[in-house]
Structure 1
Amino acid sequence: MPRRLLVLGSTGSIGTQALDVVSRTDELEVVGLSAARSWEPLVEQATRLGVRRIALTDPDAAARAAEAWTDGEVLVGAEGLVQLVLESGADLVLNSLVGSAGLGPTVAALGEGIDLALANKESLVVGGELVTQLADATGARLLPIDSEHTALHHLLQAVPTGALQRMTITASGGPFRGRARADLDGVTVEEALNHPTWSMGGKITIDSATLMNKGLEVMEAHHLFGVPYDEIDVVVHPQSIVHALVETADGAQLAHLGLPDMRIAIAYALQHPEIMPLPTKRLNLAEVGQLTFEPVDHDAFPCLGLALQAARAGGTAPCILNAANEVAVYAFLDGRLDFNGIADVIDATLQQMPGGPVRAFESLFEADREARALAAEQVAVRA
């Protein structure tokens, strides 16, 4: 019997690549799909795959899909996403939603004991220990879909208990590697979206340009693998071939290498512990010639430092950071904020709202709402 797979965010970059992976195996059956507002490609996917239930978070898009598609049921809004998770009968949920909107479906899946392939890193950034504790309580597997965390997950299989000394996450440096902060004042949205090695959605591409993405990934690694923040490093590696490294107690380091292709991470999560054959381009080190590494320029890219500051503060601070970042990034994409203003808005929001303890998921939802309002005020001041 094939495993029943639900794909949340199926029309985005990760979602479409996940469906490509699914098409190459008989061991997975898609039983549900969702999108934010891209109803036409979602309906096309559902029709092609024989899916009878879809969800759209945008009500207008959902109404148009329901009018055009009569072969199944269209669920609506954040509640519809959770309903899709709870009623799809899935054995495995792939969550590739963008931003903190992914937390609700993550909690729903793990609460039901459903294995989760997680491309929505904000679920762990915002939910933190509550999410991992929920997975532990229900026995659901939590498998990352990210080149760095997939690499770490793979590498740690070879590290004996107690032997891990340190882990390192690599960063390409984004499109502005080597520039000083003063040189980034006037960069355009088009320049920021021109990532040198990865093809991704808009929000995550801007996070990569500011290096906020690496801060979120450090938090994700901390929660996934239970490693203290002081034992997680970030190093710039422009070629994006070494995805992560782990150092063992004897001083040896293990590295995970491969040409950039997200299907490797997706297939690893969907088929774990099996390794699935893929038609990916193979790495030839002689052709590559050299691999280079350099330290992060924290002055030019302060978002990483802000993320690490929030991570160490704990409580609701990572949630506040994430909310402010989402508001600032979308303001930049809309032309309402300059590139350097992203870090300024996040910093100001964190100063006004330093965070507090997390007692339940509702504490996070309240912090998220308040942080978004404060960040929006900061954007307006800078407009």
Structure 2
Amino acid sequence: MSIFEATWPEANRPEVLRVAILGATGSIGTQALDVCRKHSNRLQVVALSAHSSVEKLCALAHEFKVKHLALSNEDYRSAAAIAQLDAGVQLGFGNQAVAELAALEEVDLVLVSVVGAAGILPSYTALINNKILALANKEALVCAGDLLMPLVKPGKLIPVDSEHSAIFQCMMGTHPQYVSRIWLTCSGGPFYGKTVDELYEVTSAQALKHPNWHMGPKITIDSATLMNKGLEVLEAHHLFNVTIDDIQVLIQRQSRIHSMIETTDGSVMAQLGPSDMRGPIQLAFSYPERWEAPTDPVNFFELGSLDFAPADDKTFKCLALAREAGRIGKTMPCALNAANEVANLAFRQGSLSFLQIAHVVEKVMELTTVQELQSLTQLVEVDKRARALTKQCIDEVI
């Protein structure tokens, strides 16, 4: 089902929305806290998590007077900064502790902005506990969309990715049956227009220089390989109940059109705005209201033009691999995602070349036995096997 299948109710939200921000020290979490500072009369931060940035997490807990914290990396149990936490602060460790923040009675909305497959469990926990899930983690739906989407109640899932927020906004007032195609826009990343020969020697430092967006290192590399866009195709497929082949990827170099929908009569609706994630984050917090802008608007007099081009999924093969995983479905997208996470990190660490990322992911897909998707426990095992297989493939490449 699509998140628009049921009628969206008028917001029944409290005057002050109580939010949990999971992944608070990352790029999305940091910008979400900027929104919370700007609208402190409307938003109250009641829970925070981080992976290993203990000092930053403790400082944020002090600033926002937060009593519920979690660190997913259990190696930091004895970090010195923990001793500086205020009395009464509860700090848990491990992925389960992060997910438990999503079940707290005093939480109204959970922003899941943790990186990778680690976002699956807190997303599931938020949904089964009837929280509003502001989803900034695409891997949750890529891997577990078939399990998570049936749990979604009207008004309880709002996408935060700029593209999916754009589609969400374009679809307001349009019945899903009249949507014939989604145009998922893409900047093209730092290597747009390059040939395979030109990509042989590119470095991690070059790939981390995204032309338009400031993001974390993992997603920035995914943007360079176009795997990020492939994962977004799978996410849009689940969110909006549109087939993989009715989601077209369109290069939009200025990153001003964040995505578009095309209806059966040929009309196209586009959402335009600044290249700043605080806009989509704020909308997830405010919906269906629209608060004053968190950033400067686009100056269309200065922008001048908007450029379009097809995505090159032959040179940037990760996009084609993600599409294929989506067509296969079942547990294949989980295996694809796990392989990509491991290969992405190997490239950043210098043990794999840029072009070898797609090669390794493709090899893992070829060696993966696809199963019917049945449970989150099963996905943990699929993820674990795919990661081990990916490491073997990387060793063979090296």
Normalising by the smaller structure, the TM-score range is over 0.9
Aligned equivalents of 2:230, 2:362: Cα separation in 1 = 14
The correspondence for 1:134, drawn from 151, 157, 168, is 151
2:117 corresponding residue in structure 1: 100
Give the match's secondary structure for 2:188: coil
Matched to 1:122, the amino acid is: E
Deviation of residue 160 (structure 1)?
3.5
Task: After TM superposition, give the deviation of residue 192 of structure 1 in Å.
Answer: 0.3
Shift of residue 100, structure 1, vs aligned partner: 0.1
Match of 1:258 among 262, 265, 273: 273
Q: 1:96-132: CA deviations, max 9, x gaps?
A: 0000011111111111111100001100001111111
Aligned partner of 1:308 in structure 2 is 323
State whether structure 2 residue 62 is matched by structure 1 residue 47: yes
Counterpart in 2 of 1:373? 388
Cα displacement string for residues 176-200 of structure 1 (whole angstroms, at most 9, x for unaligned residues): 0010112111111110000000000
- Structure 1 stretches lacking a partner, 5+ long: none
- Tell me, yes or no, if structure 1 residue 4 matches structure 2 residue 18: yes
| Counterpart selection for 2:284 from 239, 259, 269 | 269
| 2:197 is aligned with 1:171 | no
In the TM superposition, residue 140 of structure 1 has moved relative to its aligned partner by 6.3
What one-letter code is carried by the residue in structure 2 that aligns with 1:68? Q
Conserved 8 A contact 1:55-1:62: no
Aligned residue in 2 for 1:23: 37
State the shift of 1:88 in Å: 5.4
Query: Which residue of 364, 369, 377 corresponds with 1:349?
Result: 364
Question: What is the one-letter code of the residue matched to 2:272?
Answer: L
Secondary structure at 1:166 match in 2? strand
SS in 1 for 2:103: helix
Deviations, residues 185-224 of structure 1 (Å, cap 9, x unaligned): 1111110000000000000000000000011101111111
Secondary structure of the equivalent of 1:162? helix
Q: What secondary structure, in the 3-state scheme, does the structure 1 residue paired with 2:78 have? A: helix
* Residue in structure 2 matching 1:218, options 217, 228, 233: 233
**2:332 aligned residue (303, 317, 338):** 317
- Counterpart-to-counterpart distance in 2, 1:130 and 1:154: 24
The separation in 1 between residues aligned to 2:86 and 2:391, in whole angstroms, is 40
Cα distance between partner residues in 2 of 1:360 and 1:236: 36
Aligned partners of 1:318 and 1:329: how far apart in 2?
Answer: 16
Secondary structure in 2 matching 1:86: coil
User: Is 2:314–2:320's contact at 8 Å kept on the other side of the alignment?
Assistant: no
2: CA distance between counterparts of 1:106 and 1:314?
20
CA-to-aligned-CA distance 1:21-79 (integer Å, 9 cap, x gap): 11122111110000000011111110000001210011232431433324312110112
- Contact 2:48/2:57 (8 A) holds in 1: yes
Is 1:331 aligned to residue 346 of structure 2?
yes
Q: Secondary structure at the match of 2:107?
A: coil
Q: TM-score, normalised by structure 2?
A: 0.93
Distance, in Å, in 1 between the alignment partners of 2:354 and 2:73 is: 28
Preserved contact between residue 169 and residue 233 of structure 1 (Cα < 8 Å)? yes
Which one is further off, 299-308 or 155-164? 155-164
Aligned-residue CA RMSD (Å) = 1.3
Match of 1:84 in 2: 101
